[in-house]
């Protein structure tokens, strides 16, 4: 939309106003942004005749509201599995790097031990060549007693050096044993997380396939009515949120980094959702927010659950553009607040990055990456 090149205020207002264009069928969370230009509570819309009531049914008896709830459940389960996949992937990458680093330390330790063993062998051979007679005899047989005494001093130094060499060898062997133990443990963690990734991936595909199969069974007009039901549900939730007067309390101004993050996120509008994706062509919800803040120079956790755990929390009424709103009790969805009661987010499979009402989903809380 080009909004990423505008100032924050202009971008937010323009994007929220553009929601009417984005509210066509298939944009499930577009309409909630309709009331955003004004903090005045907007009346809950009356569902159109085509949309029907919560018990709307198609001509063949299909309960579209039940279908909507079923789809929502499937996609929520897919989102939960996606966060599990992303977390396992992030841990796998870190553990892989740790295993590689430990392997390097083991190689270096082995080389050091071999060098120490060579030095110890040379010292032993030198001591053998100089041995065989007691010190008194060697002194009596020496042509130069002073030279012998100097040599004896060097021998004592050599004995001390040999003792230090043996101690260093022992430390190196101990380090090698610890590196090997750590590498084995990290390898086991790596394998465990690979299994978690595989399990989560399977669940994601199963849930998405089930949702797509369910949607494919609908007629064209039913799909339109379903999209309208989704739109009305999101709009109703947003209206209820706004009716609390929350916008009168929210007046925070974005930080410089927050503006950059918003510009990046809004520039991705229209790009498809893809689970596990971090751009630049596709995104999942936390992939979008983490990359937006990375573009602003701030590294944040990859998943919405870790963003909720690790980033500073702020009150909803204190939030400002650039802050992240975490949704649902299990923190499995995240959007970026852009002002005027709206967020930009990557909703779910089959949708694109879009604008939605900040209150169109159950809010768990708000976090601020640059606090």
Top mean-pLDDT range of 60-64, 217-221, 291-295: 291-295
Q: Is pLDDT above 80 for 349?
A: yes
Average pLDDT, stretch 286-312? 95
Cα-based torsion angle of the residue sequence 220, 224, 230, 234 in order, rounded to the nearest 10 degrees: 160
* Enzyme catalytic residues: 285, 333, 345
- Give the Cα separation of 122 and 129 in Å (integer): 11
Average pLDDT, stretch 261-274? 95
Average pLDDT, stretch 331-335? 95
Tell me the three-class secondary structure of the chain, residue by residue.
CCHHHCCHHHHHHHHHHCHHHHCCCCCCCCHHHCCCCCCCCCCCCCCCCCCCCCCCECCCCCEHHHHHHHHHHHHHHHHHHHHHHHHHHHHHHHHHHHHHHHHHHHHHHHHHHHHHHHHHHHHHHHHHHHCCCCHHHHHHHCCCHHHHHHHHHHHHHHHHHHHHHHHHHHHHHHHHHHHHHHHHHHHHHHHHHHHHHHHHHHHHHHHHHHHHHHHHCCCHHHHHHHHHHHHHHHHHHHHHHHCCCHHHHCCCCCCHHHHHHHHHHHHCCCCEECCCCECCCCECHHHHHHHHHHHCCCCCCCCHHHHHHHCCEECHHHCCCCCEEEECCCCCEEEEEEECCEEEECCCCCCECEEEECCCCCEEEEECCCC
Average pLDDT, stretch 187-213? 83
Question: Is the Cβ–Cβ distance between 85 and 302 less than 8 Å?
Answer: no
Top mean-pLDDT range of 19-28, 58-67, 125-134: 58-67
Please give the pLDDT value at position 90: 80
CA pseudo-torsion sign 117, 119, 120, 125: positive
Q: Is pLDDT above 90 for 261?
A: yes
Return the ∠ at Cα 202 (arms to 198 and 203), rounded to 5°: 120
Return the ∠ at Cα 22 (arms to 67 and 46), rounded to 5°: 55
Please give the pLDDT value at position 304: 95
- Give the Cα separation of 259 and 280 in Å (integer): 19
pLDDT digits (tens, 9 = 90+) for 148-183: 555 555 555 555 555 666 777 777 777 777 777 777
How many Cβ atoms are within 10 Å of 314's Cβ, its own excluded? Answer: 17
**pLDDT category, 84, cuts 50, 70, 90?**
confident
């Amino acid at each position: 939309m080009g909004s990423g090149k505008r100032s924050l205020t202009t971008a937010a207002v323009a994007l929220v106003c553009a929601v009417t264009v984005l509210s066509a069928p298939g944009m499930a969370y577009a309409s909630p942004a309709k009331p955003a230009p004004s903090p005045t509570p907007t009346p809950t819309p009356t569902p159109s005749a085509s949309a029907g009531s919560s018990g709307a049914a198609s001509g063949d008896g299909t309960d579209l509201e039940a279908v909507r709830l079923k789809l929502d459940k499937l996609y929520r389960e897919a989102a939960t599995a996606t966060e599990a996949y992303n977390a396992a992937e992030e841990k796998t990458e870190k553990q892989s790097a740790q295993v590689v680093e430990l392997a390097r330390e083991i190689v270096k330790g082995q080389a050091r031990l071999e060098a120490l063993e060579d030095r110890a062998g040379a010292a032993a051979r030198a001591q053998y060549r100089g041995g065989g007679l007691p010190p008194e005899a060697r002194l009596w047989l020496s042509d130069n007693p002073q030279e012998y005494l100097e040599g004896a001093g060097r021998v004592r130094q050599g004995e001390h050096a040999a003792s230090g060499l043996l101690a260093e060898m022992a430390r190196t062997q101990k380090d090698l044993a610890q590196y090997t133990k750590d590498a084995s443990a990290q390898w086991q963690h790596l394998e465990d997380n690979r299994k978690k990734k595989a399990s989560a991936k399977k669940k994601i595909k199963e849930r998405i396939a089930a949702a797509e199969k369910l949607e494919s069974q609908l007629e064209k007009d039913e799909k339109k009515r379903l999209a309208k039901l989704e739109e009305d549900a999101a709009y109703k939730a947003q209206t209820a949120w706004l009716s609390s007067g929350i916008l009168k309390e929210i007046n925070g101004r974005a930080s410089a980094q927050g503006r950059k993050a918003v510009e990046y996120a809004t520039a991705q509008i229209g790009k498809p959702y893809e689970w596990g994706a971090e751009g630049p062509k596709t995104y999942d919800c936390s992939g979008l927010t983490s990359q937006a803040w990375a573009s602003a120079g701030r590294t944040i956790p990859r998943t919405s659950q870790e963003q909720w755990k690790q980033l500073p929390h702020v009150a909803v009424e204190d939030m400002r553009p650039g802050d992240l709103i975490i949704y649902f009790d299990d923190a499995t969805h995240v959007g970026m607040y852009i002002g005027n009661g709206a967020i930009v987010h990557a909703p779910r499979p089959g949708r694109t990055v879009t604008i939605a009402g900040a209150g169109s989903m159950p809010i768990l809380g708000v976090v601020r990456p640059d606090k």
